[in-house]
């Protein structure tokens, strides 16, 4: 239920934790475990890497569309945290 609530509502782990009365670390484990199980059983059926020819064709299409060379595909970055680089264009070291 926690996994379904997270993916269907876009709720963060804290919200899911409060909704179901479980710890945030347990929400994280639920999401990880269910995602891993889905990928393990469905990856080969629904996800595949492009062939070299398909990749080249995709790179050409992306370059025509947005003008950036070398892009084969893109991911929806909704759930991928990206740290803003420093003013110098280099990642900060913590």
Query: pLDDT tens digits for 41-75?
Result: 888 887 778 899 999 999 999 899 989 888 888 77
Report the chain's mean pLDDT, rounded to a whole number.
84
Q: Is residue 14 predicted with pLDDT exceeding 90? A: yes
| Residue 10 φ then ψ, to 5° | 70, 25
DSSP 68: -
State both tokens at 59: 């790179």
For 10-37, b where at least 16 C-beta lie within 10 A, e where not — what string? ebebeebbeeeeeeeeebeebbeeeeee
pTM above 0.85, yes or no: no
Query: Which residue would you say has higher pLDDT here, 36 or 85?
Result: 36
């Amino acid at each position: 239920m926690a996994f379904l609530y997270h993916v269907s509502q876009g709720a963060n782990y804290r919200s899911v934790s409060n909704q179901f009365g479980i710890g945030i670390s347990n929400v994280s484990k639920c999401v990880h475990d269910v995602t891993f199980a889905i990928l393990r059983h469905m990856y080969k059926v629904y996800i595949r890497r492009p062939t070299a020819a398909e990749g080249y064709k995709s790179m050409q299409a992306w370059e025509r569309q947005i003008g950036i060379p070398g892009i084969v595909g893109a991911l929806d970055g909704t759930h991928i945290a990206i740290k803003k680089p420093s003013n110098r264009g280099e990642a900060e070291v913590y």
